[in-house]
Amino acid sequence: MSDCIFCKLASGEIPTDMVCENDLAAAFRDANPQAPVHVLIVPKAHHDNILDNVDAQTLAAMTELVGEVARREGIDKTGFRVIMNTGADAGQTVMHLHMHVLGGIEMGEGLL
């Protein structure tokens, strides 16, 4: 989608702090981190959110990056949280499917 910021970040059209990527998905640091590690994983193809006809290959590619991000950021042993905000009640502000990977701090049992 031509005016979508995450499309431009995922494709490299706009430079970003990329953590890792594969053929179908990219992982880059959140511009306003909510934890010591806060990385976004997005598909390279545009989908508004998880309700927008997301194919299994794309989901697999995103999921693969969860583990890679965790290992690269050193939170695979300590643990982390993955969040996928969808729609207004969840506070989705960027309408391009993304997973938040949050870690590097003890989050306890709040919210989830």
Tell me the catalytic residues.
98
Nearest C-alpha neighbor of 84 from the set 98, 96, 70: 98
Considering only 4, 50, 59, 105, the residue that binds Zn ion (CB under 5 A) is: 4
Query: Which partner, ligand AMP, Zn ion, none, binds residue 18 by CB below 5 to 8 Å per kind?
Result: none
14-27: b (≥16 Cβ within 10 Å) or e = eebeebbbeebbbb
Handedness of CA 56, 92, 39, 34 (dihedral sign): negative
Rule CB under 5 A: say whether 7 interacts with Zn ion.
yes
The distance of closest approach from Cβ of residue 65 to ligand AMP in the complex, given in angstroms and rounded to an integer, is 15
Residue 109 gets which letter from DSSP? T
Query: Which partner, ligand AMP, Zn ion, none, binds residue 94 by CB below 5 to 8 Å per kind?
Result: ligand AMP
Query: Applying CB under 6 A, which residues contact ligand AMP?
Result: 5, 9, 16, 30-32, 40, 85, 91-94
Alpha-carbon distance values, 100 to 2, 9, 106 (Å): 23, 15, 16
Query: Which partner, Zn ion, ligand AMP, none, binds residue 93 by CB below 5 to 8 Å per kind?
Result: ligand AMP
